[in-house]
Amino acid sequence: MRLLRPFAVAALALLTGCQVVSSIFSGVDVSQAVHFRLSSPAFQDTGMIPKVYSCQGDDKSPELAWSLVPANTRSFVLMVEDPDAPGGTFTHWVLYDIPARLTKLPEGDKQIGLSGLNGLGQSGYMGPCPPSGLHRYYFRLYAVDEASLGLPASASRGQVEAALKGHVLGVADWMGRYEQQ
């Protein structure tokens, strides 16, 4: 029994993490979605996000890469959220109409896809900038069965979520942490 305890604790942590991600991105039904892989060479999953990707650094987006995407994927949508923000979950990035032929977003790229509005109502990536304490930043990539969501540039998160309804084939998650230095 003593040997099983570490496995039980790890399983609970994994389940709790999944529940957090699901609640953050609850505006999009992924119950039928295939899970694929998302990663970043800039930081490990659940690891610390380097300062260069924050408001204390160059505030540029980290490189992201994905693999094992579902068949019939026509485009991707990316959302980045901070559930630890004082006023509730804060949207740091909404990017949509990312071409299906791509397998990564280069560091700091501003040419791929259409940028939606972040939590400050600005278009584009807004890096970690917590007022205090350690915050978590969830990166979620959706595989979509449409080449375009049919939205103009600078759509809101809500508009993107509404356009995703019924079109999500797959989902992939990656999480980083950041604390002001």
Q: How many residues does the chain have?
A: 181
* Spatial contact of 161 and 22, defined as CB atoms under 8 Å apart: no
CATH number at residue 34: 3.90.280.10
Query: Mean pLDDT over residues 154-180, rounded?
Result: 97
Which pLDDT does position 77 carry in this prediction? 98
Kindly report, residue by residue over 143-161, the tens digit of the pLDDT.
999 999 999 999 999 999 9
Is the pLDDT confidence value at 167 over 70? Answer: yes
Distance CA 48, CA 55 (A): 15
Q: Give the pTM.
A: 0.87
Domain residues for the domain of 64 are 5-178
Instruction: Please report which confidence band the pLDDT of residue 75 belongs to, taking 50, 70 and 90 as the band edges.
Output: very high
Question: What's the domain count of the chain?
Answer: 1
pLDDT tens string 86-98:
999 999 999 999 9
Q: How far apart are CA 123 and CA 58, in angstroms?
A: 17
Contact residues for 95 (Cβ-Cβ < 8 A; gap 6+): 77, 78, 79, 105, 112, 113, 114, 115, 116, 125
